[in-house]
Structure 1
Amino acid sequence: MKFNIIGVSVLSFLLFACKPSEEKDEWQSLFNGKNLDGWIPKLYHHKVDDNYANTFRVTDGKIQVVYDEYEDGKFGERFGHLFYEKPFSSFILKFDYKFLDQWLDDAPVFTFRNSGIMFHSQAPQTILKEQNWPISVEYQLLAEEKEGDPRPTGNMCSPGTEVVFEGKIDPRHCINSSSKTYKWNQWISGELIVYKDSLVVHKVDGKEVLRYTKPQIGGRVIKGHDPKQKVDGKLLTEGYIGLQSEGQGIEFKNIKIKTLK
């Protein structure tokens, strides 16, 4: 009898241990709704942790990117990012965003109703003061610019990186998604699914709009970086997530992540 009990216990253990892995991780909120604890700002021409003119702030439970405290209302090429404090490798990221009626007209024209979420980025501490963009991949956020003109969101842009699209490395800096065009003043739900360096999927309002593989360091676009950080051809298996600032006001809420195994 004793042997049978032990045998059953051992069998139960083995069955449990050999059971195929299941995703059990819970969703983790990256934003506490109150302050920017856990986030690190880095702006072009400024050192890491210098949140110039309160560019990134929390208002009514949302992270806002705004410029009302900028001197003389000038952007001054202060391209910036607000990075979450730790890197991620394989994950699902969900978020909601909406553009604000604020754009600094000395910012490049392409930044109008344009922002983004960076991922697989280099660590903010490795971004030099005079480095314009981080080496990263971008889930680009756009909204309608002119009535009736298509302008999809959920695109891919590649500062200091490249991706394989439709079977080959694509030379374009940005690849458009298949999403519809959204009005600038409506909330839009984005989703990013990343499996290390093997597959990346962009979704908008729950619908897949773009997929590509093998994100890797390469291309040009960025300047002022540490050459040691830009090893062209190196596959990106993990990195930091950052909210972008390019002279266009925007706000984010419901930013949450689930890590994948």
Structure 2
Amino acid sequence: MKIKPIILSLITLSALSCGMSTGGDRKDVKAPSPIQLFNGKDIVDWTPKIRLHETGENYAQTFRVEDGLLKVRYDGYEDFDQQYGHLAYNKPFGYYVLRVEYRFVESQAKGGEGWAWRNSGAMLHGQSPQSMLKDQDFPISIEGQFLGGDGTSDRTTSNLCTPGTHVYYMNELFTPHCTSSTSKTYHGDQWVTADFVVLGDSIVRHVLEGTTVLEYTKPQIGGDNVSEFDKNAKTDGKTLKEGYIYLQSESHPIDFRKVELYDLSEYKKSPEQLNNVIQQIIK
């Protein structure tokens, strides 16, 4: 099956990092129920942070809930003007599987950059929204980038971007800002389900349709590609073991119908249980 090499690799890495053998772990552990980060009704458990605006100000109702969907819209903007927005869930996590169902819709906001057409993302291991400055463009974080196709050209999704961060990719420190996944292209307004397996500061995998399309290790603070930040929030070289999850607003309307998280923290010292649970979640 497609998922088998993914899980075996997770067992190996977890066992090495914890210094444990897998022989004594129970194999019949039941996967936890998902935490619905988006409840389908409101965003009271989330905090918006939009560039040029204070933390907590949902400028022009950029983030809204309508018809049971969490929507990102720009009908209240005269011009996008690089007002990059991020919506942070109000609790940090470290070991988890995050599942996001999204679709791009409508037309890009006036003033949006060309690269931001059908562009959004889920930010992982992010700094708290309260630690972001008013004019800061992006949270210091690891981004699982969402891109939509134009109906003709190839354009991968679930890519990696690194605002104020580095990772190890293919066993080497990766310092460029972005790298593409191996995903297929998702054209039009179709719904896409993106999974992210995040295991503290050890490994992160981007998964689509049960197949890993990108993987990397050792997420840490470092590098550029973030501006107007508080220097106290950026300690280069610091490993990222946990952080806040954000959804992005980068000038193209997008809908989210599911944002759920499987908390794996209780299994992180039991590699075989961790393997079993992830197998149940990602099918």
TM-score normalised by structure 1 residue count: 0.89
Does 1:118 find its partner at 2:104? no
Q: 2: distance between equivalents of 1:132 and 1:223?
A: 6
Number of aligned positions between the proteins: 241
Q: Which residue of 2 aligns with 1:257?
A: 261
The answer on whether the counterparts of 1:177 and 1:210 sit within 8 Å (CA) in structure 2 is yes
Does 1:108 find its partner at 2:113? yes
Q: 2: distance between equivalents of 1:131 and 1:156?
A: 20
Shift of 1:205: 2.5
Shift of 1:150: 1.2
Q: 2: distance between equivalents of 1:182 and 1:26?
A: 28
Unaligned stretches of 5+ residues in structure 2? 1-23, 268-283
Q: 1: distance between equivalents of 2:154 and 2:39?
A: 35
Q: Which residue of 2 aligns with 1:58?
A: 65
Does 1:127 find its partner at 2:127? no
Shift of 1:25: 2.7
Structure 1, residues 152-183: CA drift from partner, whole Å, max 9, x if none? Answer: 00001000001100010112211100000111
Q: Which residue of 1 aligns with 2:98?
A: 93
- The CA RMSD over aligned residues, in Å, is 1.4
1:231 aligned counterpart, secondary structure: coil
| Structure having the larger proportion of residues in strand | 1
1:167 alignment partner, one of 139, 161, 171? 171
Does 1:208 find its partner at 2:212? yes
| Superposed structure 1 runs of 4+ greater than 6 Å apart | none
The 1:103/1:205 distance shift into structure 2, 3 A limit, reads: same
Shift of 1:184: 2.9
Write the letter of the residue equivalent to 1:111.
A
Q: Which residue of 1 aligns with 2:270?
A: none
1:110 aligned counterpart, secondary structure: helix
Shift of 1:20: 4.5
Q: Which residue of 2 aligns with 1:235?
A: 239
Once the two structures are aligned, what percentage of the paired residues are identical?
Answer: 42
Write the letter of the residue equivalent to 1:65.
V
Q: Which residue of 1 aligns with 2:50?
A: 43
Q: 1: distance between equivalents of 2:25 and 2:254?
A: 45
Q: Which residue of 2 aligns with 1:10?
A: none
2:227 aligned counterpart, secondary structure: coil
Structure 1, residues 75-134: CA drift from partner, whole Å, max 9, x if none? Answer: 011101011010000000112100011212311110001100101000000000011110
Does 1:193 find its partner at 2:197? yes
Structure 1, residues 185-207: CA drift from partner, whole Å, max 9, x if none? Answer: 11011000000010000012322
Unaligned stretches of 5+ residues in structure 1? 1-17
Deviates more, 1:166-175 or 1:85-94: 166-175
The answer on whether the counterparts of 1:98 and 1:185 sit within 8 Å (CA) in structure 2 is yes
Q: 2: distance between equivalents of 1:93 and 1:28?
A: 10
Residues 15-26 of structure 1 mapped to structure 2, 5 A cutoff:
20=26, 22=29, 24-26=31-33
Q: Which residue of 2 aligns with 1:156?
A: 160
Write the letter of the residue equivalent to 2:247.
L
Write the letter of the residue equivalent to 2:102.
Y
Q: 2: distance between equivalents of 1:100 and 1:19?
A: 46
1:48 aligned counterpart, secondary structure: coil
